[in-house]
Amino acid sequence: MNDETVVEARDLVVRYGDFTAVDRVTFTVGRGEIFGFLGANGAGKTTTIRVLCGVLPPTEGRVRVAGTGYEDGENAIKAKVGYMSQKFTLYNDLTVKENLDFIASLRKLDAAYYAKRRQEILELISFKKGLGAFVHELSGGTKQQVSLAAALLHDPEVVFLDEPTAGVTPAGRERFWALIRRVAESGKTVFVTTHYMDEAEQCGRIALMREGKLVAMDSPAGLKAAAFPEQVFEFEPIEELSFSRMTAFQNHEAFAFFEPYGHRFHAAAANAEAWRHWRPELEKTFRIRTIAPSLEDVFIRMVEDRP
Amino acid sequence: MNFVWSRAAAMARKEWFHIRRDPFTMSLALVMPLVMVVIYGVAIDFNVKNVKLAVSDSDQTQASRRLIDTFSSSGYFRVRRDFSPGQALDDLVAERARAALIIPPQFEKNLWSGRTAEAQVLLDGADNSTVVPVSQYVNTIQTLASERIAGADMRPPYDLRTRFLFNPELNSRWFIIPGVVVVIMAILSIFLTAMTVAREWENGSMELLLSTPVEPIEIIVGKALPYASLGALAVVFVYIIARAAFGVPFRGHLWVFGLGCLIFLLTYLAQGLFISIASKQQTLAMQLSMLTGMMPSVILSGFVFPIASMPKFFWYFTMLLPARWFMVISRHCFLEGSSFLELAVPFAALSLSCLAMTALAAHKFKRTLE
């Protein structure tokens, strides 16, 4: 990544009637950056992406994407960005070629340019099946890769990926993220939303959204440091805990944070004195280890636990 | 707004791939017109013939036999002999007959002695579809029988002759098939458009389309084109069957009929689009298009039930329905050879519906995208 700003949102507000979906959001994203956008459903992520893709003019605020904005005409932004949504990949009853031809026609790509670019993109995603293959014959992961290829056909400066790996196998997700890194290395800015925290860890920076507001924005390490200035521990129960005991620990005065994490728990002490006092007692019930906080811990603490 | 034909054409091409590969759409587009023409053209016949007539002749004279013979030789009735009036009534009740003729004793004697010779015709009043035409046949046969039995002396003092213009034989197929064109076009255009746009909303692809520079109007035109072509193809198909297989005359101008088809098609495509945008779900879109497109075009357009005999409210209400006006245009073009000027009112009403529905759909589409 270099310092050149490619995406800029300043005091962005989107209202639907009385409901404010995006509330004074400000951020910038640099060229070649993989920028993650995290938040619960309804937090305003998709609305923000729709504004940045040129689909939805903001109610207030200013948006600049790849040097253009709404003031440059309604299609100015659309020409500079690629978009891949979570729900839709490609038309299943069309072949890969028919799908790509369709997108190229909508973007009015020159025939010679399109043929060359299609070849480049298919090599980038290592697409081995023939162009005549029907999309419904492809695996979930390959579909998403071809879908990304369609979003990149017109060589956009920014690609928006809205939960691109939803429903894809772990191996497929890994391959897709390797592809995202290659796209970013080629100088494209990648703006991605995901519910998978291991994917979010791979972003250069992450913005956390809650109820339309941006609650934090930093690198994964920076967010962890900001969310957990105190030490984080993993608690492994020596014996199985009943639900009532687990609830009691969640409200225990020793903890500022105590959340289930698989069969274990991640916790942060309320303060040093309480921790010193309660640790011997807790060790009768748990095996306690010091760990680095995960992004999930950060998300729970910064997004879900806030009143 | 910058309309680009190549983008609309790309949409149309994509839509054509969907149509070609979707068995439901293909069968609806190709088989449905055929099935409807066959059902309405062959199976449904308002000309009631071969009505089973239970006859009880208690007179057994030359005059009574002539009366019965007049019924049987008319071609409308098939006579079934019974031994008593009670048995004839039983046949009617048990639906072995749809009408009964009861000739009392003294029928001939009364006739020659100058008194009125009475015979009774009983009709099944519960079967409304046959009772009206059969009673008309009975009236005609009564006059004919009077002539045959009593000779020229019995002729009435006046001669009221009826001639049916445009459809001299009152062939109900001539009346029905031009109406089938309206129903087929209504179903094809509204159903398929409603489904296709709802599908884009349902699977999220509308969002993707809108993230490209494609304009909403290009999406609409591109989507409508293949279905409009299918609708036009169905009209040609029905026209050929109507002319070749059913001998329905076409006395008007093809361009007037074609223009009517085009405006009607555009109106229902817009209505389908409106439903699609409002519902955003294929199942709901299908139900709504059935309710607002198919039902009015069959029930309230004058296709089967005459608008003139509807209660005042419905009489006015049908004026809002494009199918009512296109029904007039279609029938007049086929049977009456009306010119464009003669059809100015239905054309004006249809065009008004078209403009209103297009404006409504465009407004709703724009609002939804915002």
Q: Examine the domain organization and report whether A249 and A132 are in the same domain.
A: no
pLDDT of residue B300: 87
Taking an 8 Å cut-off on Cβ atoms, the answer to whether A87 and B204 are in contact is yes
Nearest by CB: B17 against A84, A93, A105: A93
pLDDT of residue A58: 92
- Residues of chain B contacting A, Cβ within 8 Å: 2, 4, 6-7, 9-11, 13-14, 17-18, 21-22, 203-205, 207-214, 369-370
Taking an 8 Å cut-off on Cβ atoms, the answer to whether A91 and B205 are in contact is yes
Question: How confident is the model over B327-358, as pLDDT tens digits?
Answer: 999 988 988 888 899 989 999 999 999 999 88
A-to-B residue pairs, Cβ atoms closer than 8 angstroms: 67
Between A3 and B200, the higher pLDDT residue: B200
Q: Examine the domain organization and report whether A13 and A129 are in the same domain.
A: yes
Nearest by CB: B17 against A53, A94, A103: A94
Distance from CA of A251 to the nearest CA of B (A): 42
Residue pair B112/B103 in contact by the 8 Å Cβ criterion: no
- In chain B, the percentage of residues whose pLDDT exceeds 90 is 13
pLDDT of residue B155: 52
Q: Which residues contact A208 (CB under 8 A, 6 or more apart)?
A: A38, A39, A214, A215, A216, A217, A223, A298, A299, A302, A303
The listed range with the strongest mean pLDDT (A108-112, A289-293, B130-134, B197-201) is: A108-112
pLDDT of residue A1: 47
The domain segmentation of chain B, as residue ranges, is: 5-44+171-369, 51-154
Taking an 8 Å cut-off on Cβ atoms, the answer to whether B213 and A107 are in contact is yes
Q: Examine the domain organization and report whether A231 and A201 are in the same domain.
A: no
pLDDT of residue B229: 87
Q: Examine the domain organization and report whether A41 and A159 are in the same domain.
A: yes
Mutate: best of B207, B212, B223, B365, partner A, most A CBs <10 A: B212
pLDDT of residue B308: 80
Taking an 8 Å cut-off on Cβ atoms, the answer to whether A83 and B204 are in contact is no
Q: Examine the domain organization and report whether A264 and A285 are in the same domain.
A: yes
Tell me which chain A residues have a C-beta less than 8 angstroms from the C-beta of B22. 93
Nearest by CB: B212 against A50, A78, A88: A78
Residue of A nearest to B222 (CA): A106
Taking an 8 Å cut-off on Cβ atoms, the answer to whether A93 and B22 are in contact is yes
Tell me which chain B residues have a C-beta less than 8 angstroms from the C-beta of A87. 203-204, 207
Q: Examine the domain organization and report whether A205 and A115 are in the same domain.
A: yes
Distance from CA of A286 to the nearest CA of B (A): 47
Q: Supply the range of the domain harboring residue A259.
A: 227-304
Nearest by CB: B21 against A93, A101, A102: A93
User: What is the CATH number for A277?
Assistant: 3.30.70
Tell me which chain B residues have a C-beta less than 8 angstroms from the C-beta of A91. 14, 17-18, 205
Taking an 8 Å cut-off on Cβ atoms, the answer to whether A85 and B22 are in contact is no
Quick check: B178 pLDDT over 90? no
**Distances in Å between the alpha carbon of A149 and those of A89, A120, A179, B206, B228?**
11, 10, 10, 18, 33
Banded model confidence at residue B11, pLDDT cuts 50, 70, 90 = very high
CATH 3.40.50.9100 fits B51-154, yes or no: no
**Single residue among A165, A199, A218 that ends a domain in this structure:** A218
Q: Examine the domain organization and report whether A299 and A150 are in the same domain.
A: no
Tally the domains of chain A.
Answer: 2
Predicted complex ipTM exceeds 0.85: no
Between B14 and B280, the higher pLDDT residue: B14
Tell me which chain B residues have a C-beta less than 8 angstroms from the C-beta of A143. none
Banded model confidence at residue B47, pLDDT cuts 50, 70, 90 = low
**Single residue among A151, A184, A218 that ends a domain in this structure:** A218
Banded model confidence at residue B9, pLDDT cuts 50, 70, 90 = very high
Q: Examine the domain organization and report whether A233 and A188 are in the same domain.
A: no
Residues of chain A below pLDDT 50: 1
Banded model confidence at residue B152, pLDDT cuts 50, 70, 90 = very low
Q: What is the rounded average pLDDT of the residues B91-95?
A: 85
Tell me which chain A residues have a C-beta less than 8 angstroms from the C-beta of B213. 75, 78-79, 106-108
Taking an 8 Å cut-off on Cβ atoms, the answer to whether B212 and A91 are in contact is no
**Single residue among A218, A250, A268 that ends a domain in this structure:** A218
Quick check: B196 pLDDT over 90? no
Q: Examine the domain organization and report whether A97 and A148 are in the same domain.
A: yes
Nearest by CB: A98 against B17, B203, B213: B17
Q: Examine the domain organization and report whether A68 and A202 are in the same domain.
A: yes
| d(C-alpha A232, C-alpha A228), whole Å | 7
Residue of A nearest to B212 (CA): A78
